A and B are shown apart, each in its own frame.
Chain A
Amino acid sequence: MKAVFFKGSPPAGRDPLSNRAAAAVSAVLKSRGWETKAFPLAAMDIKACRGCFSCWTRTPGCCVIRDDDQEAILRAWSGAERIILLTPITFGGYAPELKKALDRIIPVLLPFFIRIQGETHHPQRYPLPRRLLAVGTLKQEDAGNEGAFRQLVGRNALNMGDVEATTLVFSGDASLAEMERRLSQEPFFGAEAS
C-alpha cells in the first residue's frame, strides 16, 4: 500500500521542530510497512501554478509546466491511499514549501462539479479510498493558529473527495519519541506489522 509524504519543512536546520516531526512520520510509515514516496519540498524545484487550467482542457491530467519536479508528485498521488501533509503552521495555514506543490496538484482532479456535503467540489481523476493526515508544527502553542489550521485541513479533505482526515499539531519542544508515540496511535497508519 502506497503513501505520499509532502515534507513541507523549511530548508534543513531552519526549523528543528518541523524536521523532527518529519522524521517521526517517516519512522511510523516505515514501521507500518507503507511504501512511501517522500518529497522534501524545500529542496525541490516546483514553479508557481500559472492558473491557466490547461491541465483540465488543453492537456487533460497534465500540467503544461514540464521543466520542474512536480510530475513525480502527480504520479505518486495517483496511486496513493495515504496522503501526509507536513508543515510549520504559517498564519494558520500551510507554509509556501508545501503550498507550492499543492497549487500544482489540480491535474489529479476533473474540471466538472459535484456536490459534497451540500457544497460544490471537483471529482477525483484517480479515485481511490484515500485518507489524509496533516501534521502541523507550532513553535509555541497558539489556539488561534491551530484552530485555523484544523479548519483548513477539513476543507482540503472535502476538496480531495471528502476523505477521512486526521490533524495533529506538535508544539513547543515535543521530542521525537513523543511524536512517534502520538503518531503511532493513529488508525491512519493501520495496524502494527506483527
Chain B
Amino acid sequence: MNSRKVLLLVASPRGAASTSKSLGEHLLAVLEERGMALKTLQLYPALGDERKMSELLGAVDLCDLLVLAFPLYVDQLPAPLIDLLRLVAERRNGQARTGQALAAIVNCGFPETAHCRPAADIVRLFSAQAGFRFLGCLATGMGGAIGNRPLGKAGAIVRHQRRALDRAAAFLCESREIPADVLALMGRAMMPRWFYNFVADRGWKKAAKKYGTANRLFDRHYDGRQET
C-alpha cells in the first residue's frame, strides 16, 4: 500500500470539459489503483475566491506529488497558472517541505507536440526554484481531438497517450523520473497531421455556420493604423 498523497491541479478555464482534465484523470485513476490517495482541484474557480485559493495552496503544501494539467496558451502556461506558481515559489522561499515531487501534463491544439517544449522548461525551472523534485512533463499535441471525453472513451486515437500515462504512473508512484521513451510515447501523433488539420479547419467553419458568422470569419474590427 502506498499512502502518498497526489494532488491533480487542473489549470484550464474549460474545467470539467477540458482535455487537461481528461488526461489528468486518466493518470489519477492508475495512481489510485496503485494505492495513492487522490485529490483533484480546479484552478480557475479559485481565482478571486480567497477561501478556495487558500484551500488550494494548503493542498499544494500537503501533497507528496503535485500533478499540473494544463493547456498550452501562447507557447507556455496559461497566465493564472504562472501567477499561482509564482505565489507558491514566493511562499515557500527557502522553506519547502522535503520530498515533494512534481509532474506535469500539457496538451496543445497544434498537431506537433514540439510546441510544448517551452512549457516543459518552465515547469522544470519552477520545480527547481520552489523545491519540488521534477519528475517530467508529459506533453501531447492534437489536444483538440480529445475534447472533453474521458480518455477511455476517446477510442484508438489516444492509445499512445493512454499507454504513456499508464506507464508514467508506475514511475510517479515510486517518485521516479518518467523515462524519455514514455515522454516520447505521450507525444506520438494521434492521427496523420493533414487529417487533424483538415478536421480542425472544418470544425471552425461548422461552428461559424452554427453562429451565422460563416462569411465574417476574416472580419477586421480594428484599424490601428488609422488611430492615434
Contacts and interface: CB of A to CB of B under 8 A. Distances in A.
Interface of A: 2, 35, 48-53, 56-62, 74-80, 90-96, 99-100, 102-103, 105-106, 110-113, 119-121, 125-126, 144-145, 148, 151-152, 155-156, 159
Interface string B183-204: 0000000000100010011001
B73 A119 contact: no
Contacts of A99: 73-74, 76-79, 82
A91 B114 contact: no
A156 B74 contact: yes
Contacts of B218: 60, 110, 125
A156 B217 contact: no
A96 B221 contact: no
B12 A125 contact: no
17 contacts: A48-B44, A48-B78, A48-B79, A60-B219, A74-B221, A93-B121, A96-B80, A99-B73, A99-B79, A102-B74, A103-B73, A103-B79, A106-B74, A111-B217, A112-B201, A145-B125, A151-B118
A93 B114 contact: no
Contact of B125 (A48, A51, A56, A144): A144
Contacts of B121: 92-93, 148, 151-152
A119 B112 contact: yes
Nearest to B84: A96
B199 to A, nearest CB: 11
A60 B13 contact: no
B115 interface: yes
A100 B44 CA distance: 13
B225 A2 contact: yes
A126 B118 contact: no
Given A60-B213, A61-B219, A103-B79, 18 more contacts: A48-B44, A49-B79, A57-B207, A79-B224, A79-B226, A90-B82, A91-B85, A91-B122, A92-B125, A93-B118, A95-B82, A103-B74, A120-B111, A120-B193, A120-B197, A148-B118, A148-B125, A156-B75
Interface string B119-152: 0011101100100000000000000000000000
A75 B115 CA distance: 27
Interface in B48-98: 71, 73-80, 82-83, 85-86, 89
A186 B13 CA distance: 39
A105 B74 contact: yes
Nearest to B216: A60
Most buried by B among A58, A100, A103: A103
A80 B225 CA distance: 7
A35 B228 contact: yes
Contacts of A58: 207, 211, 213
